[in-house]
Amino acid sequence: MNEHPISNSPGIDSPNSPSTTPSVSSAASDLRSAAGDFAKTTEAQAANLKDKAVETAQALKVNAAERAQQLKAAATEKAEHYKTVATDKAHHARETAQQQWVDTRVKAKEIHVTAEDYIRQNPTKAVLSALGVGFLIGLITRR
């Protein structure tokens, strides 16, 4: 009884028994089958990830388009506001300039009338004053 008790146990094959040893072709077939199953699972996961990526990209595209529309609307609103403010300020500046021009013309007419009255009342002083001013201007321009 030198036999090994494990080798005689039912369900455990001895390494020398040809009918119970898996063949290389059977092992290769099992490996091919397992690799095929793994490839199918991986392919399904990759397709699922691709679908999620496409959905996410579409959602981002829609979100970006909505945000761009919001920004465009806000920019248009601001531009309209600034245009209105600029128009109001330009209108106010024009009215102020026109009023200043009218005031200046009135003052110039008053000065003109006053000067005419003075010259008519004092013709000698006016002529001598004009000669004196002319002489001074001549001296200044000569230098």
Tell whether 4 is covered by a domain.
Answer: no
- Phi and psi at 132, nearest 5°, equal -65, -45
Query: Does any domain span residue 3?
Result: no
If one counts the domains in the chain, the total is 1
Domain housing 129? 30-142
What is the model's pTM? Answer: 0.44
Q: What is the mean pLDDT of residues 88-103?
A: 96
Q: Is residue 11 part of a domain?
A: no
Question: Does residue 9 sit within a domain?
Answer: no
List, for residues 41-85, the tens digit of each pLDDT value: 999 999 999 999 999 999 999 999 999 999 999 999 999 999 999
Q: What are phi and psi of 13, to 5 degrees?
A: -90, 145
